[in-house]
Amino acid sequence: MGIALAVAWVQSQADTRTPRSFSGKVSGVRSGHTLIVQEGDRTHKVNLYGVVSPSPGAPQAEKARAFLEQIAFGRMVTVEAVAPFSPRVLYAFVQLGDQNLNEEMIRQGLAWVNQEACAMEICQRWKTLQEEAKAPNVASGAIHPRLPSWRKGVVRAVQREKGQTCI
């Protein structure tokens, strides 16, 4: 009996670690790259794969979070897990109809490609979108063309500390 329970437990753990897709309703938005998705009676914390946005409290963080909330909150999405599925951390592509939310956040200049974690072929396309988002007409207010627009506050603070002129 003990062995049967152990085998059942191992199989259930293997099943939850396998990347999978599911549909659910967005019940919360924690940041510009983290959603809470309700799949029936299960709640998932879903991180947009390959994307990083400002941390809460950082410049532009609320703008990124509010934009994602505006387009996704209360709506049905399809979540396609990229990394092994885990109850604690889920990295995924998130589709809202025909719109990929990972890509949309980059296109809007509200999130950037995570250079260290985004290793799939699509990441090259996203890097191109990121460059386009750096253009003044999309990511207005960017001080440094190589930095995400939300980093401007950090750059200004460092410049002030070093006695440099803020651009």
Q: 108 in a domain, yes or no?
A: yes
Q: CATH number of the domain that 86 lies in?
A: 2.40.50.90
- Residue 166 forms part of a structural domain: no
Domain count, the chain: 1
57, part of any domain: yes
Share of the chain above pLDDT 70, in %: 67
Domain limits at 140? 2-161
Q: Model confidence over 28-55: pLDDT tens digits?
A: 999 999 999 999 999 999 999 999 999 8
3-state secondary structure of 34: strand
* Inter-residue contact 72 to 35 (CB < 8 Å): yes
- 33 assigned to some structural domain: yes
Per-residue pLDDT tens digits for 120-154: 999 999 999 999 888 754 445 443 344 555 454 54
Q: Is there a domain that residue 167 lies in? A: no
* Residues in CB range of 126: below 8 A, 6 or more apart: 50, 51, 102, 103, 106, 113, 118
Report the predicted TM-score, pTM, of the whole model to 2 decimal places. 0.72
